[in-house]
């Protein structure tokens, strides 16, 4: 081989060796709403298979602003109406859901948007409470992404989670209201007796016919009572009844989730007391009306997706 061609091959090899190596994009985490409060919404962020080696970010907007932007997320964090927080260090305030914002594969941590002012390990443009209205609850949309690092470039945005700040009300709604308004629930799970249920399971219980099972009728009223108290109603007059109902249910699993059974006669007194309270006959009284939300084009579109 001539020296000329050998020089060309060596130059090509050097060029290849000098080519930059780009790190692959990190996998997007997932975000799930766990609970809603008066001025905050609790989220669980779970890292994808590549983890979040430099932490993660959470973006949020009012649902109406998100719709106005075209049902997509701004890339510019200076966009009006966009709230953001970069979780990169160690929390010291809300440590009940994880001890570090740097996540390994599949690891989860709980964050409280609207309660970030005193938290450590993060930077944010919105440390205070989320907005809420004096007349209706406020809908928010959230997403997350893994922050880029030497281990990989920034992930794509996660799928969205939705949440609603709740107007705490010292009044009660019936079990029918809570059955038909799952977006208004202040929490995503409840314990009946000693068994914890997800919102989906609780909704299935609320939709279960009583069919002579006192456990089901009691559970209907107990679910409503607990949601009313978590929504701000004063439960002083029924706290003892709620405790008695939980003790009576114990480890029984309510249908259709399980096959637990109590005779109607054994639960009639507690069921009636809770029913009267939920309906406003006793206690602080029934709420004046259902909280309403202003309609948006995005909300209308979602009905047909």
Tens of pLDDT, residue by residue over 123-171, are 999 998 888 655 567 889 999 999 998 777 999 999 999 988 876 678 9
Average pLDDT, the chain: 85
Tens of pLDDT, residue by residue over 204-235, are 999 999 999 999 999 999 999 999 998 889 99
Tens of pLDDT, residue by residue over 26-53, are 999 999 998 877 678 889 999 999 999 9
Specify the 3-state DSSP secondary structure of 87: strand
- Check: CB of residue 206 under 8 Å from CB of residue 220: yes
Query: With a threshold of 0.75, does the pTM exceed it?
Result: no
pLDDT score at 20: 47
d(CA 197, CA 226): 13
Adjacent-strand bridge partners of 85 = 58, 124
pLDDT score at 266: 96
Q: Could you tell me the domains of the chain? A: 30-165 (2.60.40), 175-278 (no CATH)
Adjacent-strand bridge partners of 236 = none
How many alpha carbons fall within 13 Å on the CB side of residue 174? 11
Order of strands across the sheet that contains 108-113 = 30-36, 41-46, 108-113
């Amino acid at each position: 081989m001539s020296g000329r061609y050998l020089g060309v091959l060596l130059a090509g090899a050097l060029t290849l060796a000098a080519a930059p190596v780009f790190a692959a994009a990190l996998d997007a985490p997932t975000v799930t709403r766990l609970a809603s409060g008066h001025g905050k919404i609790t989220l669980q962020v779970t890292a994808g298979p590549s983890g979040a080696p430099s932490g993660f970010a959470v973006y949020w907007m009012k649902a109406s602003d998100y719709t106005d932007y075209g049902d997509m997320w701004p890339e510019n964090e200076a966009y009006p109406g966009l709230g953001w927080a970069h979780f990169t260090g160690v929390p010291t305030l809300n440590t009940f859901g994880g001890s570090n914002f740097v996540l390994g594969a599949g690891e989860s941590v709980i964050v409280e948007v609207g309660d970030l002012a005193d938290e450590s390990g993060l930077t944010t443009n919105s440390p205070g409470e989320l907005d809420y209205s004096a007349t209706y609850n406020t809908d928010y949309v959230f997403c997350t992404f893994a922050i880029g690092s030497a281990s990989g470039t920034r992930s794509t945005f996660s799928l969205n989670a939705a949440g609603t700040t709740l107007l705490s009300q010292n009044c009660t709604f019936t079990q029918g209201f809570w059955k038909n308004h799952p977006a208004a629930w202040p929490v995503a799970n409840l314990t009946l007796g000693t068994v914890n249920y997800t919102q989906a399971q609780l909704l299935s219980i609320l939709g279960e016919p009583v069919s002579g099972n006192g456990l089901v009728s009691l559970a209907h009223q107990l679910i409503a009572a607990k949601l009313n108290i978590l929504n701000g109603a004063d439960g002083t007059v029924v706290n003892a009844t709620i405790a008695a109902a939980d003790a009576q249910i114990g480890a029984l699993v309510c249908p259709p989730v399980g096959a637990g059974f109590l005779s109607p006669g054994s639960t009639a007194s507690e069921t009636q007391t809770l029913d009267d309270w939920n309906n406003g006959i006793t206690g602080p009284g029934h709420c004046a009306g259902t909280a309403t939300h202003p309609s948006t084009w995005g909300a209308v579109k979602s009905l047909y997706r």
